[in-house]
């Protein structure tokens, strides 16, 4: 009886050791998978940063070639107005949000509104 009890104890200790080693291997495999996902995400983020940087350089080149001199404040205002217009805000609400007059908003949006209406005319003619 004592040998049986000692044998069962030894088998349970052996099974406990095997269980720990298999769970350690599983956790290492999970950790490696997480690391690979992290590396993949970091590579994608770096690629996106490079693409954004290239776009910023392209915009700077276009602005310099066109001879447009906008201050950062003017550029930010134009960006805000265009963003609100593209999101279908009315000219009145854009004027309220930016604390500008409706005429100023119309002057800012004039090149973009005419460009859109001309595209619609061409699309409808074909």
- In this structure, the answer to whether residues 53 and 110 fall within a common structural domain is no
- Least confident among 26-30, 101-105, 122-126: 122-126
- In this structure, the answer to whether residues 113 and 78 fall within a common structural domain is yes
- In this structure, the answer to whether residues 30 and 45 fall within a common structural domain is yes
Indicate the residue among 53, 69, 85 that finishes a domain.
Answer: 69
Query: With b meaning 16 or more CB within 10 Å and e meaning fewer, what string describes 56-86?
Result: eeeeeeeeeeeeeeeeeeeeebeeebeebbe
- In this structure, the answer to whether residues 60 and 75 fall within a common structural domain is no
- In this structure, the answer to whether residues 49 and 83 fall within a common structural domain is no
- In this structure, the answer to whether residues 84 and 60 fall within a common structural domain is no
Angle at 115 between CA 123 and CA 110, to 5 degrees: 150
Domain that holds residue 122: 70-126
> Concatenated DSSP letters for 39-63?
HHHHHHHHHHHHHHHHHHHHHHHHH
Mean pLDDT of 90-110: 91
- In this structure, the answer to whether residues 64 and 113 fall within a common structural domain is no
Q: What is the pLDDT of residues 75-98, one digit of tens each?
A: 889 889 999 999 999 999 999 999
pLDDT at 50: 96
Q: How many domains does the chain have?
A: 2
DSSP state of 99: T
Q: What is the pLDDT of residues 29-80, one digit of tens each?
A: 999 999 999 999 999 999 999 999 999 898 888 887 887 787 888 888 988 9
Mean pLDDT of 112-124: 58
- In this structure, the answer to whether residues 106 and 85 fall within a common structural domain is yes
- Helix ranges (H only) for the chain are 2-66, 72-86, 91-98, 102-125
- In this structure, the answer to whether residues 63 and 120 fall within a common structural domain is no
- In this structure, the answer to whether residues 19 and 63 fall within a common structural domain is yes
pLDDT at 35: 95
Indicate the residue among 69, 84, 115 that finishes a domain.
Answer: 69
- In this structure, the answer to whether residues 59 and 82 fall within a common structural domain is no
- In this structure, the answer to whether residues 58 and 98 fall within a common structural domain is no
Tokens of residue 13, six digits: 């200790």
pLDDT at 121: 54
Calpha distance 37→30 (Å, rounded): 11
């Amino acid at each position: 009886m004592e040998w049986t009890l000692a044998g069962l104890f030894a088998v349970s200790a052996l099974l406990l050791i095997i269980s720990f080693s298999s769970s350690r291997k599983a956790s290492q495999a999970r950790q490696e998978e997480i690391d690979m996902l992290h590396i993949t995400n970091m590579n994608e983020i770096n690629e996106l940063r490079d693409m954004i940087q290239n776009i910023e350089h392209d915009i700077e080149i276009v602005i310099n070639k066109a001879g447009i001199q906008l201050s950062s404040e003017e550029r930010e205002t134009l960006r805000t107005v265009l963003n609100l217009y593209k999101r279908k805000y009315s000219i009145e609400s854009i004027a309220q949000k930016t604390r500008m007059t409706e005429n100023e908003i119309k002057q800012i949006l004039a090149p973009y509104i005419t460009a859109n209406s001309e595209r619609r005319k061409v699309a409808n003619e074909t």
